[in-house]
Amino acid sequence: MDFAIILTDAQLCRYDWPDKMAAKISHGPSGTPLPDEEAEGLAEAMAAFSTPSRLKLLYALLGVERTVEDLAEATSLKTTVVSQQLRVLRLLRLAAGRRDGRHIRYRLYDDHVADLLVAIRRHGEHAAHLGPAVVPMQGDQSAV
């Protein structure tokens, strides 16, 4: 990808994109409870991961830029579906696009999205091999 992430001790991220878009974002501590507004925003963004076509598109963008046609071919989705889902992914800042002649080349919005996709897949692989997550209560033998 054509951008760099620099983390400092103050949990400050800086993204330098080729199109000169730069943002400095200060991250709060991960272990604190979420305020209502932040929880609602995160739930909305996480809903993007509940649609198989969006997941296929996001994983197809890992580490590469692709046009709508490239994505349609890579995911076996119709170009109309790809365009429709990319619109949602762009609104949620999970994907971004840049004009390249008469095409738009899409990529993941930033490395946080890539890291999240890797974590989702790894968790799915682990969960599939471990079976149901049933933890018996103290003294309960029914779940053993």
Q: What is the pLDDT of residues 103-134, one digit of tens each?
A: 999 999 999 999 999 999 998 888 887 766 66
Phi then psi for residue 112, to 5 deg, are -60, -40
CATH number at residue 75: 1.10.10.10
Q: Which residue has the higher pLDDT, 112 or 80?
A: 80
For residue 96, is it within any domain?
A: yes
User: Domain limits at 115?
Assistant: 39-122
Total structural domains within the chain: 1
What six digits make up the tokens of 128? 């599939």
Whether 14 maps to a domain, the answer reads no
Give which of 14, 16, 12 is closest to 3, Cα–Cα.
16
Residue 95 lies in a domain: yes
* Local confidence band at 12 (pLDDT 50, 70, 90 cut-offs): very low
Which residue in this structure is represented by tokens 């993007």?
Answer: 48
Is 28 among the domain residues?
no
What amino acid occupies position 52? P
Q: Please report whether residue 53 resides in a domain.
A: yes
**Domain contains 118:** yes
136 pLDDT band, cuts 50/70/90, is: low
Q: Which pTM does this prediction carry? A: 0.72
Task: Read off the pLDDT band of 31 (50, 70, 90).
Answer: confident
